[in-house]
Amino acid sequence: MPRLVIAAPSSGSGKTTVATGLMAAFAGRGLAVSPHKVGPDYIDPGYHALATGRAGRNLDAYLCGPELVAPLFAHGARGCDLAVVEGVMGLFDGASGQGELASTAHVAKLLRAPVVLVVDASSQARSVAALVHGFASFDPEVRLAGVILNKVGSERHEELLREALDEAGVPVFGALRRGGEVVTPSRHLGLVPVAERGAEAVSAVAAMGEMVRGGCDLDALYAVARGAGPLDCAAWDAAEALGSLPQPAPSRPYQYAAPPRGGSAPDPGPRTPDGLKGPDGPKGPDGLRPVVALAGGAAFTFSYAEHRELLAAAGAEVVAFDPLRDEQLPDGASALVIGGGFPEVYASELSANEPLRKAVGELARSGAPVVAECAGLLYLARSLDGRPMCGVLDADARMSERLTLGYRDAVAVSDSVLAANGTRVRGHEFHRTVVEPGAGASPAWGITRPGRRVEGFVQGGVHASYLHVHWAAVPQAARRIVAQATEVARATEGVTPS
C-alpha cells in the first residue's frame, strides 16, 4: 500500500491544509485515497472524509496501543490506491513524559512509511536547511523523504529556500505561497467541524486541493509513497476482534422496565451486567437485531468509525439520528450512544427540542443502555449553561475558560454497560466545560494518570463520562452494549430467550 505521513516541526505549520489538499488532489486524479490522522483528534478526519469520500480514521498508539496501529491502518486502507496520514503537533511530540509514544514519528515507524515535513518558511531562508537537518537526523529510524515549503513569500524567497535544502540534500516536493492559505475558521476546541460548515467546507477542501495541485509535485510524492516498506500484519476486523474475546458466563435475566406512553418508568437502580450473553453473529440466537441509536448531526460530530463497525459486528442495527432535527429516537431503539461534539454551541436548539429530550430521558430511566462521552455527558445533564437538557443526571454543565486536554489512564470503578469493574483503559479528555458534580454516587472511572480522581456517572444502564475511549482497544464495550440492548429488545417484543 503506497503511503505518506505528512508531519511538521510544530503545530500551526500547515499540516491539515497540505494533508487534506493532497488527499483531494490525488482523489481528483481518480485514486482511491485512504485518509488517516495520528492521535485522538475528531475534527481533521471530517475534512479528510470530505476530500476522499471515505471515513477518516485515527491512528493512536496511546489509546489503542502500538500493536493495533498497523492493523487499523490496513483495515482503513483496504482496497485503496494510496494512504495519506496527517500527523499531530510536531513530528516528535507524543504522550507527555513518555518518549516517542503516540507521536507522528512513532506512528510513521510502526507503518514503515516515509515522512514529508511541512515547513513554515515565512521567517527564514538558509536556516531552513539547519532546521530540516535536525529533524532528519534526530531519529535515524524515521525516514524523512523531503519537505513541502509553506508560506513562501516570493519567487526569490523560494529560490533561496530550495538552494539551501539542495545543499543539504533534502528534496523539495512543493512550495505554497504566503497569502494563498485557505481560511478554515477555528474556535475554542480548534477547527469548526465539517458538519457545521456545509457548503463552505466543501469549497474549502476543493480550494486546498487546487492549491496543493498547483504547488506540489504529485508524481514525485506518489513515487515516494510507493517506496514505503512492507507491512507484515493482518488488517483489523471488527468481527474477528469480537470473536477473540472469551464468551461470558450466564447471568441472571435482564430486567427491563419499558417506558409507558406519556410517562417514565422507574429507575431500576444499579446492576451488574457482567456475563450478559450477547449475539454470536449478525443476529442474536432468537433472530433479534437490536437497534442502537447513534447521535450525529452538527452538535455530535465526534465518533470513531470503528465504534459503529464494532456495534454492527456485535449484532446491532446502528441507526444515526440528529438531536437538532429529530424529535424522536429511531424506531425500536433499545440502546443509545452519544459521542462528543459541541452541544455548548447548540444548547438553545437542543433545549428547544423537548420531545427528544423527553424520549432520551425515558429510555435512560427505563434501564436501557445509554453510553455518553463528553458532549453526550453534557446532553444528559440537568442543564447546560442554564438551559434545560435531558435531566438524566443530577448534574449541571457550564462553559469554562479552562481547557482540559490530554491522555488519561483509567480504571472502571463501577460495573456498567460499557465496562466491568476493574477494566483498565486509556482515554483522552478535550473540553472547555465543567460538570458539577464531576462524579455520581457510582462513578464511571477512576483516573490513575495524571493525578488520581474519580469522574463520570453510572446509574442503571447509563454510562456518562468526559473520557473518550477507542473501542478497538476494548471491543468488549461494544459486545456489552449490544448484549444489553438485545435483552431490552426481547423484553419489549415479548421474546423468551432460548
Q: Is 472 helix (H, G, I), strand (E, B) or coil?
A: coil
Strand 424-436 relative to strand 396-412, pairing: antiparallel
Report d(CA 277, CA 163) in Å as an integer.
Answer: 66
Q: Is 286 helix (H, G, I), strand (E, B) or coil?
A: coil
Strand 445-449 relative to strand 424-436, pairing: unpaired
Residue 349: phi, psi to the nearest 5? -70, -40
- From the candidates 64, 80, 216, 374, give the one annotated as an active-site residue: 374
Q: Is 139 helix (H, G, I), strand (E, B) or coil?
A: coil
Query: Is 374 noted as a catalytic residue in this protein?
Result: yes
Place of cell 417484543: 493
Between the alpha carbon of residue 467 and those of residues 83, 90, 216, 463, 470, the distances in Å are 29, 24, 39, 11, 10
Starting at the edge strand that comes first in sequence, how are the strands of the sheet with 333-338 ordered?
A: 317-321, 291-295, 333-338, 370-373, 462-465, 457-459
Strand segments, DSSP code E, in 259-357 are 291-295, 317-321, 333-338
Note the Cα 90 to chain centre separation in Å: 20
C-alpha cell at 1: 500500500
C-alpha cell at 15: 499540516
* Distant-in-sequence, close-in-space partners of 125: CB < 8 Å, separation ≥ 6: 157, 160, 161, 164
Residues with catalytic roles = 374
